[in-house]
Structure 1
């Protein structure tokens, strides 16, 4: 028998949110639709406004998500990442998820000027451009565009690029990624980006730009766009930041502590 929504001191929408949260977790599970607004109104004898407010609360909290024209569904739990130096494959395996990859393209090109400078390519150096969709348990999680110096990684286009590039660089080329600088910002999924991630338009994205090096040599410039409804970042903040790099605004540098070390925008840790 459905739980009764009463006129007590607690607002009806809050009571209904509790009911729907319990239903989502205990009975429905990820990707299953909750009852329609009309069904909820009839079952719990509440107004449409109460139903919508209850659902809005759970959508904002990440327990539910709406798909336009289809309804409201139980959301998959977000994958949580503590900022550390590891590949996507290593990160997902650590969380008990199965990583996989859709390779979109691999080409030798002259990268944009900023990337060429970052990778120390000189006036005529080229890099491998690798575009990939990264999946966890078969669900699109991130879209990557990476640049890698051809001079350090000859023949990379002939290698298997479906797994961890960090492992490939170490085993095949003897180049172990041991340091990186990473910047994070937010965007919204639009057009082709949304389609490739199989995400509704305007889905929030967490965007990471990472420049990684091996023994002091820049080896990677990659921008990864993660679905914000499936991925979150955990940081433990320290009270005293390390000195900012020359010319860096104090408002643009994030200082955080991972499980094993204190870092700023430069993260140094052996890959797991």
Structure 2
């Protein structure tokens, strides 16, 4: 078998495994598939790159869970994960206030000298790192909000219940990227792994800008889903949950 055929055979094998199950030893697998170990390694590397397999250095190679469909809509990460049967979680990496500056001030539509709360979080599903998020919100909008508040709570839920602020819409940009060494360490993936970069600005019904968020999502655990319709036709309702903090 060539690499493509070996990859297909491995895909069939993975289909009968549960997420987290280990692949057989390389020598046994090569014998089982009647391929050279060089061909097998190339096929495994391809499947690691597409997220079908997960390699843990010094431990082995394992069947990965299915990718999570990421719709471009405005529901919270917490709600999204619970709807999928995962236990959501967050780890606050840092939280501080600072003047907005010119660039962030324009994004949030506030004075460059206005204070902004910046919270850097690692987002988790069943304890597994999924994304790194950098949230910026005008301090005047959320007095008393701290990084500890956001450790295991939805930002949107806190906004609505504590501050009577409800996000209704926003603008989100998406582009492919690769992880930096720091991001790779936090997400538990190899350096320069494929990932998605999201940048989002959200606002209330009266148009007040509430947040600017920059997030890096693992490319091996997510795929992007968008519903489309001909120009002028009413778009179908969303059937998949989206990503926000």
Q: Which TM class, normalised by the smaller chain length? A: 0.7 to 0.9
Q: CA 1:159 to 1:45, structure 2 compared with 1: closer, same or farther past 3 Å?
A: closer
Q: Extract unaligned runs of 5+ from structure 2.
A: none
Larger Rg: 1
Counterpart among 251, 259, 269 of residue 237 in structure 2: 259
Work out the CA distance in 1 between the residues paired with 2:168 and 2:123. Answer: 22
- Cα distance in 2 for partners of 1:198, 1:241 equals 44
**Deviation at residue 140 of structure 1 after TM alignment:** 0.4
Residue 151 (structure 1) aligned to one of 122, 137, 140: 140
Deviation at 1:239, TM superposition (A): 3.8
Tell me whether 1:223 sits opposite 2:201 in the alignment.
no
Q: Name whichever of 31-40 and 159-168 sits farther off.
A: 31-40
1:183 counterpart SS class: strand
2:100–2:112 CA contact under 8 A, matched in 1? no
Alignment match, 1:5: none
User: What are structure 1's unaligned runs of at least 5 residues?
Assistant: 1-10, 243-256, 262-268
Change in 2 beyond 3 A, CA 1:58/1:198: closer
Report the TM-score when normalising by structure 1. Answer: 0.77
* One of 74, 92, 98 as aligned partner of 1:109: 98
- In structure 2, what is the Cα distance between the partners aligned to 1:168 and 1:117? 24
Matched, 1:94 2:72: no
Pick 1 or 2: higher relative contact order, CA cutoff 8 A, min separation 6.
Answer: 2
Q: Output the CA distance in 1 between the equivalents of 2:122 and 2:209.
A: 23
TM-fit CA distance, 1:87: 1.4
1:198 aligned to 2:188? yes
Counterparts of 1:104-253 in structure 2, within 5 Å, are: 104-157=93-146, 160-161=149-150, 162-215=152-205, 216-240=207-231
Please give the TM-score of this superposition, normalised by the length of structure 2. Answer: 0.85
Q: Aligned partners of 2:57 and 2:172: how far apart in 1? A: 34
Is the 1:84–1:258 contact (alpha carbons within 8 Å) kept by the matching residues of 2?
Answer: no
RMSD between aligned residues: 2.7
The DSSP-based 3-state class of the residue aligned with 1:172 is helix
